[in-house]
Amino acid sequence: MRHRLSRRRLLKAGLLGAVAVSIPGGWPATRWVFSDPDCSARSVPSRALFLYNPHTGETLKTLYFENGRYLPDALREIDRFFRDFRTNEVKAIDRRLLDLLWRIYSALDTTQPFNLISGYRSPATNEWLANHTEGVSLHSLHTYGMASDVNVPGRSLESLRAVALAMRGGGVGFYPRSQFVHIDCGRVRYW
């Protein structure tokens, strides 16, 4: 049994490596700090996000972490940007999600923004979606500010999913018909 598990891990690592090589621009090790998955201040002096919301037409490019601390004004901008666009309700977005998105963006080596299809969802919006849309959980991490549905122009959904899975920072859902990848900072799982 131990032999099969080791072989499975080896095959999985090889598959992720093959996908990484196929990503345009590669997986630049200099931009993703492999030795420090929590992105401590010691390893990364600053972090920024570049986002576009197709529902509101808004763009946000902001430095949210610098000199070992999160920047409160930038976090408020991000919270507002991630708001439930249906109700305009705002909730604090989990910093672990922001850091995970930053790590994924860095690994994708792109200058295009994340398209934020869905960020925070109010409980009322989430309940409505769960009752009228396939694949929406009644207990979605979107309602806690811990999830996002995104895509990146110029990068395939398969590449985005492969990078998100390799980060092992939380849940990764693949929705090719809806043209997004769900990324959350909950427990590590995929679907």
pLDDT tens digits along 104-117:
999 999 999 999 99
Among 1-15, 53-67, 89-103, 123-137, the minimum mean pLDDT is found in: 1-15
Q: Is the pLDDT of residue 36 over 90?
A: no
What does pTM read for this prediction?
Answer: 0.78
- Spatial distance between the Cα atoms of 27 and 15, rounded to a whole number of angstroms: 14
Give the pLDDT score at 41: 47
H or E stretch at 43: none
Give the pLDDT score at 44: 60
Give the pLDDT score at 138: 86
Q: Is the pLDDT of residue 5 over 60?
A: no
Mean pLDDT of the chain: 84
Q: Name all domains of the chain by residue range, CATH numbers in brackets.
A: 28-190 (3.30.1380.10)
Which residues, at least 6 apart from 69, have a Cβ–Cβ distance to it below 8 Å? 41
Helices assigned H by DSSP within 117-174 = 123-132, 157-167
